[in-house]
Structure 1
Amino acid sequence: MAAADGARPIRRVVLAFDSSGQGTGAAEPAARLAARLGAEILGLFIADEDLERLIAMPHLVSASGLAPDRNGAADDLLSR
């Protein structure tokens, strides 16, 4: 898509996510917009400090669909 009268073209679409999961529905429209503009799409994850502190607690046991065998895979994903 060409820039209008001297305006700079949009080169990037940034999609922000947090741990709430409420932004997941925006991924597809953002990707379509980026494709239409010929722009790159970047994902930005906003970390939740309270969740990070909770993960660090030694007595915390995770039970997750990501790691049904409770081998710590979910902890590894959350700690990134």
Structure 2
Amino acid sequence: MTDAVDQMSFEDAMKELETVVGQLERGDVALDQSIALYERGAALKARCEAKLKEAEEKVAKITLGEGGQPNGTAPLDA
């Protein structure tokens, strides 16, 4: 749990989030550690949501050419 959350890939953040949730569900950690795990889990969840949104926006902006084949992307409208 030493990696900066904002630098993690979606897959790494999801894997660690699953680990955190598992630890919290078992309930065998001290209160202080539970709070730290919960905070880390919240940050990991936010990272996963942000990476998913990025991917959705990229997919939504793929442009199609003749015959419905992808031919590039269009700029994302803010």
TM-score for the superposition, normalised by structure 2: 0.32
Could you say which structure has the higher helix fraction? 2
